[in-house]
């Protein structure tokens, strides 16, 4: 080593440096070296807030659900990833949120079974547990009609959690459910006494009874202390505050299956439409964002009730060309999937959209394709068209109601 090229570090110099640093207040040193770094209300001057029994959001961050009497909507544009914080999970109640004492909770299972049984919450928790991340979505999710709409306004009736509970098949084996049974009825203990008929094959596949959400006991809004979880199937069938399951060989044709969740498709009536079709939505840039020319990351969410998202394409030229977006892994089945796409905006007006393909090969339809198939453009259930955002030359972004 050529010693001349390196300044000699003496023992004294080293000690002096250490002492000097110890004697001079750090922020004065920094202020000299990095003028502008130390703000007038320097948080390093006194200790901050202490610990707390319950954590809280930064007071500068306040994502909120928008609410009506019957539902509340998740602020999709505020999500950085796929798990919806539990207090931002959308809500849909047909007659409010019941107050259920977990010590008194019971789930009765009867009908075509060898052993009709009642399960307490502790009983349910004593079975081998499973955790699964999947989305929930109201079958009526999708609003349109004006340009000043956010993703929350358009599609806020979907959220995602990691749910923990017991496989319904485990419980059905316990009661000796008949293999000849074709359907089961799930009943909630809210004032709506919401009931839905579910085909048995879903019970033997991936249905669950869940009691926890994102690592803690499920929230009352989501069905505390236990709800039915049917991954990928319309929200309404995921009966909350579950109190009774009857096993049978025919659907019960409940109110939610005849007057609701049943709808005209051209000259026919569609009933029992279980799976939520694949759909996607850009969550940035959207109304009311304002963008600048140059590079920006187009972001959004895509999902399918039939399995995994395999592809999300983004168009930034009104649909002339489509490019594959990056999917944030791991991509889970029947789960919200985050996509990102780098785009250089040249400052001219254009329209952008996303289009998802799922593992069955199904491609999200355009508004026109959906209208041709359904005989309607908006309203009703299971509407999942591609949605466009208008980028104006001044950088403002507006929804394109079609």
Ligand X SMILES: Nc1nc2c(c(=O)[nH]1)N[C@H]1C(S)=C(S)[C@@H](COP(=O)(O)O)O[C@H]1N2
Choose the one of Mo ion, ligand X, none that binds residue 241, judging by a C-beta under 5 to 8 angstroms depending on kind.
ligand X
Interactions with ligand X, residue window 200-229 (CB under 6 A):
221-222
The residue among 186 and 356 lying less far from ligand X, judged by its C-beta, is 186
Work out whether the CA dihedral 126, 130, 131, 134 comes out positive or negative.
negative
Binding status of residue 241 toward ligand X by CB under 6 A? yes
List Cβ<8 Å contacts ≥24 apart for 101-106: 102/224, 102/225, 105/225, 105/226, 105/243, 106/243
The Cα 363–Cα 352 span in angstroms is 17
The SS3 call for residue 137 is strand
The residue among 92 and 244 lying less far from Mo ion, judged by its C-beta, is 92
The residue among 211 and 381 lying less far from Mo ion, judged by its C-beta, is 381
The residue among 90 and 263 lying less far from ligand X, judged by its C-beta, is 90
Binding status of residue 236 toward ligand X by CB under 6 A? yes
Tokens 């259930």 identify what position? 381
Binding status of residue 279 toward Mo ion by CB under 5 A? no
Q: Work out which of 93, 279, 374, 382 binds ligand X, going by CB under 6 A.
A: 93
The residue among 231 and 235 lying less far from Mo ion, judged by its C-beta, is 235
User: What binding mask, one character per residue, do residues 111-140 give for ligand X by CB under 6 A, x or -?
Assistant: -------------------------x-x--
> Residue 344: is it exposed, middle or buried by C-beta count within 10 angstroms (0-12/13-18/19+)?
exposed
The Cα 186–Cα 193 span in angstroms is 10
Q: How far, in Å, are 299, 364, 385 from residue 401 at the CA level?
A: 20, 17, 11
Q: Work out which of 72, 133, 161, 236 binds Mo ion, going by CB under 5 A.
A: 236
Residue 142 near residue 381 (C-beta atoms within 8 A): no
The residue among 92 and 336 lying less far from Mo ion, judged by its C-beta, is 92
The stretch among 12-20, 42-50, 91-99, 279-287 that binds Mo ion (CB under 5 A) is: 91-99
Binding status of residue 92 toward ligand X by CB under 6 A? yes
Interactions with ligand X, residue window 159-198 (CB under 6 A):
188, 190, 192, 194
Q: How far, in Å, are 74, 137, 236, 335 from residue 354 at the CA level?
A: 20, 19, 26, 17
Q: Work out which of 138, 154, 168, 314 binds Mo ion, going by CB under 5 A.
A: 138
Beta bridge partners of 326: 340
The residue among 219 and 270 lying less far from ligand X, judged by its C-beta, is 219
Nearest-CB residue for ligand X: 188
Binding status of residue 65 toward ligand X by CB under 6 A? no
The Cα 284–Cα 121 span in angstroms is 41
Binding status of residue 75 toward ligand X by CB under 6 A? no
Give the number of residues in contact with Mo ion, rule: CB under 5 A: 4
The Cα 237–Cα 92 span in angstroms is 12
Choose the one of Mo ion, ligand X, none that binds residue 89, judging by a C-beta under 5 to 8 angstroms depending on kind.
ligand X
Binding status of residue 91 toward ligand X by CB under 6 A? yes
Cβ neighbours for 350, distance < 8 A, ≥ 6 positions apart: 316, 317, 318, 391
Residue 132 near residue 162 (C-beta atoms within 8 A): yes
End-to-end CA distance of the chain: 73
The residue among 177 and 194 lying less far from ligand X, judged by its C-beta, is 194
Strands 242-248 and 106-111: what pairing? parallel
- Which tokens go with 298? 């187009």
Contact residues: ligand X, CB under 6 A:
89-94, 136, 138, 188, 190, 192, 194, 221-222, 235-236, 238-241
Contact residues: Mo ion, CB under 5 A:
92, 138, 235-236
């Amino acid at each position: 080593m050529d010693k001349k090229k390196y300044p000699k570090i003496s023992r004294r110099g080293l000690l002096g440096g250490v002492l000097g640093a110890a004697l001079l207040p750090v922020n004065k040193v920094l202020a000299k070296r990095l003028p502008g770094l130390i703000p007038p209300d320097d948080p390093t001057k006194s200790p901050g807030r202490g610990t707390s029994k319950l954590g809280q959001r930064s007071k500068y961050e306040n994502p909120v659900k928008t609410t009506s009497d019957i539902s509340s909507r998740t602020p999709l544009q505020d999500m950085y990833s796929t798990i919806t914080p539990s207090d931002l999970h959308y809500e849909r109640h047909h007659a409010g949120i019941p107050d259920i004492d977990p010590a008194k909770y019971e789930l009765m299972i009867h009908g075509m079974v060898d052993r009709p049984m009642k399960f307490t919450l502790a009983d349910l928790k004593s079975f081998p547990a499973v955790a699964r991340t999947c989305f929930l979505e109201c079958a009526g999710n999708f609003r349109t009609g004006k340009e000043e709409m956010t993703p929350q306004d358009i599609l806020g009736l979907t959220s995602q959690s990691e749910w923990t509970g017991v496989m319904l098949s485990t419980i059905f084996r316990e009661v000796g459910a008949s293999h000849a049974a074709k359907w089961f009825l799930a009943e909630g203990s809210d004032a709506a006494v919401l009931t839905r008929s579910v085909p048995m094959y879903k019970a033997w596949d991936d249905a669950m009874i869940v009691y926890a959400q994102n690592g803690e006991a499920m929230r009352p809004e989501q069905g505390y202390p236990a709800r039915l979880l049917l991954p990928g199937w319309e929200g309404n069938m995921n009966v909350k505050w579950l109190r009774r399951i009857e096993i049978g060989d025919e659907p019960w044709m409940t109110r939610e299956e005849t007057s609701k969740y049943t709808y005209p498709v051209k000259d026919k009536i569609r009933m029992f439409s279980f799976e939520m079709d694949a759909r996607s939505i850009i969550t940035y840039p959207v109304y009311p964002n304002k963008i600048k020319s140059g590079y920006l990351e187009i972001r959004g969410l895509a999902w399918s009730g039939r399995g995994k998202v395999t592809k999300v394409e983004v168009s930034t030229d009104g649909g002339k060309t489509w490019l594959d977006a990056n999917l944030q892994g791991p991509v889970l089945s029947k789960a919200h999937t985050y996509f990102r796409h780098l785009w250089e905006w040249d400052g001219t007006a254009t329209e952008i959209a996303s289009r998802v393909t799922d593992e069955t090969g199904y491609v999200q339809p355009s508004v026109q394709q959906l209208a041709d198939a359904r005989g309607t453009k908006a309203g009703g259930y299971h509407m999942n068209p591609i949605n466009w955002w208008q980028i104006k030359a001044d950088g403002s972004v507006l929804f394109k109601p079609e």
